[in-house]
Structure 1
Amino acid sequence: MYALEEEILAGDNPTKIMYLTLDDGPYDRTHDFLDILDSCSINATFFVLGKPKMKAVYERILREGHLLANHTYSHRIRTGLYRSTSSFIEDVEKLDRFICDEFGLPTNNVVRFPGGSYQAFSLRRPIIDSLHSMGYQYVDWTGSTHDSSDSCLTADSAFFNATLDCDHDIDVLLMHDFSKISLAALPRIITNFRERNYTFFPLVKESHVMGR
């Protein structure tokens, strides 16, 4: 994947790359997203939380070739996650232990900060440095359906948000697998990006889109 990205960035390959990412799950609705991804032969990256009662959904994500990535165990933005660097790191490690204990493998060593990396404010750099020292990379996004921030969102506006935001050689699209609006928009989003010469891949920590 890194070699393909190098070719694209050097202008030697007309293909574009789309990393489709889904945050905050798993949910019961995650199955509906998985059905669409399966019908379109797309593998995505699921930035999951720690939800012991959703074991069957984690298992299906893995069984169908998608990647589990780390979105912290608790997503406690307002109640302590960003209180200190150690609070954040402990939550990251707790999720990895949960995934490893339940499914026998770690996440893919890619972390997404709940709310995005700038949500950490003054702790952003210390947290990033700690993650890097532990072998993790982090990633934000280049485009979104805005399904967690727009209370008036429709499937049409989710489609336009995603397809207008993402217009680079390599893009990372954010959506949430709790959103019935993003779910409704997803088939059109996939079709649009394929018509624009994007190929879909799951994220790897060697990608150029990782934060520095």
Structure 2
Amino acid sequence: MSTLYLLNKPFHTLCQFTDERHEGEPRKTLAPLIAVPNVYPAGRLDYDSEGLLLLTDDGALAHRITHPSQKLPKTYWVQVEGAPDDDALQRLRHGVTLKDGPTRPAKVRRIDTPEVPERIPPVRFRASIPTHWLEITISEGRNRQVRRMTAHVGLPTLRLIRVAIGPWTLEGIAPGEWRKETVHLPQQAASSSPNRQKRGPRQGPAGKRPVRGTQRPSS
């Protein structure tokens, strides 16, 4: 059995426990959010994106989650600038060609404005330009891929929230909060991983904090 931590990463928070930038104002990191020793993110989420981030201390589990061969679906709620017409949605569904090559087909649909906390700071408002929400599911993880895809079809992304990775979802986790789950990793998958050892210490600040959220069985 392996342990997985599901964190709702807030806007403008790095997916790491320290800010290695030596100039300018320090940026927010994961350190104040999850004081669990020796865990590290299984995958990334942009500094200016929000939502589900998975962390673990198990290299085999991290490999299974992040390796491209797994094609693990990732679902996002995306607030875009402009009105998405059927042509734009079909282009996203079939795949668009970006600078680093064509994307795989995506699942895309219009959704009503989701019930999510207001972002801090809030998304800019322009009365002359409407905004709409899309649900987009992709099975690859290029740098800033969803933002580049929507921009390619004339729909700049204003807010991006990752709500699911494979069977794990953001449901019931408030921004900045997390919950712990137990994952049963198949023996074959564990033995095929090139890195079965746990990584070295990487943890948040010292001091004890209560575990927030409840432990739930994995989906």
Q: Is TM > 0.5 for Structure 1 vs Structure 2?
A: no
TM-score (norm 1): 0.28
Asked which structure has the greater CA Rg, the reply is: 2
Greater strand fraction, Structure 1 or Structure 2: 2
